[in-house]
Amino acid sequence: MTTVLDVVLCAKAAPAQWGNKALISFTADQVIVHVVSEGSTRLQDIQKAARRLDAQGLKHLSLIGDSWDLEACWAFYQGYYNAKQDNQLGVAVLSEQAQHQFEALKAAADWTRAVINLGPADIYPQSLCDSAIAFLTELAPKHISYRIITGEDLLEQGWVGTYTVGKGSCQAPAMLQLDYNPSGDDDEPVAVALVGKGITFDSGGYSIKPSDGMSVMKSDMGGAATVTGGLGLAIAQGLNKRVKLFLCCAENLVSSKAYKLGDVIHYKNGVSVEVLNTDAEGRLVLADGLIAASEVKPGKIIDAATLTGAAKMALGRDYNAVFGFDKNLVEQALVAAKAEAEMAWALPLEDFHKQQISSSFADIANVSSGEGMAGASTAAAFLAYFVKNADQNWLHFDLSGCYQKSANSLWATGAKGHGIRTIARLLTE
C-alpha cells in the first residue's frame, strides 16, 4: 500500500535547518510548502516545490489546509505532473465550484499533454483526429458533428497543402472539420474558428532535421492538441457559442512520394507557393485550415502551431508567441494569458513581412530566402495570405512554450498544456 503524504501550504519561511529560502520541509507525516512571495512568483514557487517532490519519487500526495486556492492547486498539479510516473494528487480543499473548475482544467490539460507525449506509432493523422473527436464528444455529445477528410479525398476537395506534405508517408494525411454548435441551429453564425497544426511527426522531409532536433518531433502536433484542449476546456466551462475546429494533420517524411524543394503548390484561394524548404511544412498545412476557416465566415479565427524555431530563439520555452495585424486582438490575447496565469508575448507582424517571402516561380515562397529576416514574423506573414480579412479577425499563436525538451525547475520533460487556458478564455469571454 502506497503512503499518502499530506501537503500544507505555509506563508512562513522554512526553519533554518532546511536551508536558506527552502521551499519545502517535512514533518513525520506532512510536507510543508513554504511560499512567502506573492502574485505570479508565488505560483511559480508552488510549481517548483511540486517538481521537487516529484523528483523525490513521492507518488501519492494530498493537499490539505485552508491556504490552497484554485490557482495554487493548479500550479502544484502542473509541476507534479510527470508523463513517466503515475503521480496521484488528492485535491479536496476547494469549494464545489472551484473543484469543478480544477477538474475541468485537469481533464483538458491531461488530454493535451498525453496526446502530445505519445509517440508517432500511436498518434498519426487519423488517430489524432479520432482522439480529438472522442475527447470533445464526451464533453458535449449532443452538440458535436464532424467529418474527417483523408488521403486522395483531400486532393479532390482542394486541400492541397495537407495532402502534399503528407503524401510521403504510408499514414494518410487527414483534415478534421468539427462543429460545436450548442444552439442546434444550422444557421447559427460561427463565433470563432480554431485551426491547429497537426504534424504528428516531422522528419523535416528532404530538408531533413538532425537527430537531436528530430527526437522531439512527435510534439509537432502541439498546435492541434492545444486548440482542441482549449475548446474542450471552454465547453466544460459552459461555452455557449458556435465554434468550428479545423485540424490539419500529416506526417512529414522522406520517400519517393514525398514533396520536394522546388515544387509549387496551388491553393484553392488562388495563392501559389514555391517550396524552398520542406521543413517549413507546418505553414503549408495550416494554409488549408485557414482557408477552410475563412469559408465559414467566423467572427474571428485563431490558429496555433509549433511553427518556428525562431520563436523559441526569441522567447525560449517559457512564453508562447502571439501575432496579429489587429493590435487590439493581440492585446486581448495577452490580457487573457495573464488572467489565466499563462505566459504570452507579442512578436512583430507588419505588412512588410508579407513582402519578404517572394518567389521567382510562384506568388510566394514558404520561407524567406533573404538574409537577416525575422523567421517567426515571416512565417506568420505567410499564413496571412490564407486568411480572409486577416487585418481584422485573425490571431496566430506560435507555441514556443508547448513542449519541454528536458525537465527544468517548473516542468517535467514533455508536453505542458501551456496555452489551453488562454484559448479557452478567448472563446468564453
Instruction: Point out the residues that are catalytic.
Output: 209, 283
Q: In sequence order, what are the residues at sequence separation of 6 or more whose Cβ sits closer than 8 angstroms to the Cβ of residue 166?
A: 125, 172, 173, 174, 249, 250, 251, 252, 285
Half-sphere exposure of 25 (CA within 13 A, CB side): 17
What the block records as the C-alpha cell of 308 is 518556428
Closest alpha carbon to 89 in 138, 36, 31: 31
What the block records as the C-alpha cell of 372 is 537577416
Q: In three state form, how does the secondary structure of 325-392 look?
A: CCHHHHHHHHHHHHHCCCCEEECCCCHHHHHHCCCCCCCEECCCCCCCCCHHHHHHHHHHCCCCCHHH
Look-up: residue for cell 442546434? Answer: 184
Q: In sequence order, what are the residues at sequence separation of 6 or more whose Cβ sits closer than 8 angstroms to the Cβ of residue 232?
A: 107, 108, 111, 135, 136, 139, 420
DSSP-derived pairing of the beta strands 394-398 and 60-64: unpaired
Bridge-partner residues for 199, per DSSP? 250
Q: What is the CA radius of gyration of the chain?
A: 22
Closest alpha carbon to 42 in 8, 17, 10: 10
DSSP state of 16: G
